[in-house]
Structure 1
Amino acid sequence: MESASIEADIHTDTPETAGGLEAAAAAVARAAQTVKTMVSAGGCAWHEAQTHASLVPFLIEESAEFVDAIERELPADDVRSELGDVLYQVLFHAAIAERDGEGYDLAEVAEQLNQKLIARHPHVFGDRGYMSVEELHAEWERLKEDAAGEARGSRGALDGIPAGMPTLARSAKVVERLKRAGLVNPGAGEGTHEDPLAAAIGPDEQHLAEVGVGDGLLALVMRANSAGVDPDRALRLAVERLSARVMHGED
């Protein structure tokens, strides 16, 4: 499908939708200008002193608070407030980039994101038609290879996973990537001698499984504490062993 027709499809909003988007754009623009004023010379001394690096702890904290609001099922007003704090971090980083002449601003961040979303969803904005979740997983990897100018099939199953992710989140990401690539079968207890929790996991037992897994993880943390073992380090090393064994055939 030609880009012009894609743009036409994207902009066929109802009056109500268009009005909502215009209001959102105006509100974001006002917030962006407020942040830009604070980071500029003569604005707020604290904001002016911040850098991308100095803001990392705040980005992590605000993201965690948003997640907490969701998981605790707080009222919508509280969730909205926490989401606003996450948006503030995006606006803050974009304002710093513009102020320090890094070559981009908020508009370019948003435009690049929009182009990426359209390019990586040809089943929505192109002529690929409906695709199942399984097909989308495979398509996603191919599209990322194309975007990076890489040969099809050259991207490894674990490429692009940030090393700085929290250990448990990173281990879950590694296992999911290996599962998608058909390299492990988590249901078979890959990488463990036995999997006592597997029996509790079924299509109609998601909540029970979550409770069981949570209790099992906590029991392992207690066991690690009793043995004088750092559970975070133990998990990091276990993930590295699994990755090496599966990806490189190492013992």
Structure 2
Amino acid sequence: MDATTDARPLIRTSAHDDGVVELVLDRPEAMNAVSTAMARALTETGATLASDTSVRAVVVTSSHPKAFCVGADLKERNGLSDDELRAQRPGNRLAYRALLDLPVPTLAAVGGFALGGGCELALACDLIVAGERAVLGLPEVSVGVIPGGGGTQLLTRRIGWSRAADLIFTARRVGADEAYRLGLVDRVVPDPRIEALAIASTIAAHSPIGVRNAKAAMRAGIDLPLDDGLDVEDARWHDTAFSPDRAEGVRAFAEKRRPNWPGVS
């Protein structure tokens, strides 16, 4: 399940037995800087995962020991004309949306640097698990652009206006402990990959239909007035409550055994 460009994979995936899929950013020679080809590979991989109903959670990791992703490939960008940069833009947007729009829970395992577009890849995930030496930031204004992979919107929603303004306007980097205090990351651990996979495995043990509908309700309702959000929740509740998963979950509880989820068909 590798997305390949010019005969080498830039995004690798590894499926675990419990339905967890590890999505590996695999351009280590460039510290996973997002090139045009890598953006295309991420879009293709996201589409494949989104259509696979056996997937229960996705963990985004890196093949580089000291970097999650350092953002856009500025060396490539330096050689682009204005017209070429405009032509590149839609593909880059699709790449970040491919991760943001996955219907299952997503976790970023951030070890080392997650800067610019790399931080935005993490922000596109539902949970961010950071290593103790992780460094995160959105330094785009220091090179004459602004965050363009969702950073201005996702960071503000995650940590609030003033904290997001501090990070974006100053372009400063923060270590794992400060990122945790700000709410930018959810856990700080010695090995973020192992921790994220463990969390994903816990998620994967629950009702696939329930988890997908819970995520859909949360995402759809987050910016709605409360009454409208509760209507969204109610619709997703009905989708779940009258599904085969609910019947199996109640039966398993009564029989004091683990559920054998029918899952998404």
Higher strand share: 2
TM over 0.5: no
TM-score tier, shorter chain, comes to: under 0.3
Task: Point out which structure has higher relative CO (alpha carbons under 8 A, 6+ apart).
Answer: 2
Higher helix share: 1
Compute the TM-score of the two structures, normalised by the length of structure 1: 0.26
